[in-house]
Amino acid sequence: MTDGIDIPEDTRRSRLPKPHAQVMDEEFVTAAERFAAFREQHPNGYVEATIDRVIEHPDGNVTYVMNAAAYLERPSLGVPARPDATAWAQGSTKDDNAIIAGSPLESADTIARSRALRNLGILDGAKPAKIREPRTERQIAAGVIVARAKADMSQKELAAAMTDRGFKWSQATISQIEKGERPLRLSEADHLAELIGFRA
């Protein structure tokens, strides 16, 4: 029925986000380049990744959550140092991407480190992050209070949201953090950034 009808080719580009697996492939492709660029730009720099938690699902699958921290100068042993950039990633044995599903721990490690370097400004088109003075517990506490208020969340609601993410938080935990009585851990700060827009 359509013989002789000339149908123009659709050359429009989709505005939909890329599929999850494709985004992860891009992280793997650029990770080695980011590491090489970081070593070239900051020969005394350091990037590390640590396991935040391991989640064993009822169906037998396992998810690994990794935190990464990048330093422009390698911290001295025994001397507390604040990272210049942080990131987190997760890898699951049930991931759509076969590479991640086959090596979830290694994948999460690589992606977290690569993202920390990207957040530092390595191969993302932005300038490297400026080094700043560490914030005091009082400044961090004030930042949590302001961010929670802007997000219009009660202490109880925020505690429930953090509990859903695997942290054993109660309303008292948030109250202690907001009074500067309890330090905020790096992994916790990353999740608060996503939940309420908190910036460490």
Question: Which pLDDT score, from 0 to 100, does residue 20 have?
Answer: 42
Question: Which pLDDT score, from 0 to 100, does residue 186 have?
Answer: 82
Distance CA(103)–CA(93), nearest Å, equals 8
* Reported confidence tier of residue 27, pLDDT bands at 50, 70, 90: very low
- pLDDT reading at 7 higher than 80: no
Q: Which fold has domain 137-196?
A: 434 Repressor (Amino-terminal Domain) (1.10.260)
Question: Which pLDDT score, from 0 to 100, does residue 13 have?
Answer: 54
- The mean-pLDDT minimum among 39-43, 74-78, 87-91 falls in 74-78
H or E segment to which residue 192 belongs: helix 186-196
pLDDT tens, position by position, 103-118: 999 999 999 999 999 8
Model confidence, pTM: 0.50
66 near 148, Cβ under 8 Å? no
183 phi/psi in degrees, rounded to 5? -70, 150
120 near 47, Cβ under 8 Å? no
Higher pLDDT, 154 or 10: 154
Question: Which pLDDT score, from 0 to 100, does residue 94 have?
Answer: 92
Q: What is the full DSSP assignment across 5-73? A: --PPP--PPP-SPPPHHHHHHHHHHHHHHHHHHHHHH-TT-EEEEEEEEEEE-TTS-EEEEEEEEEESS
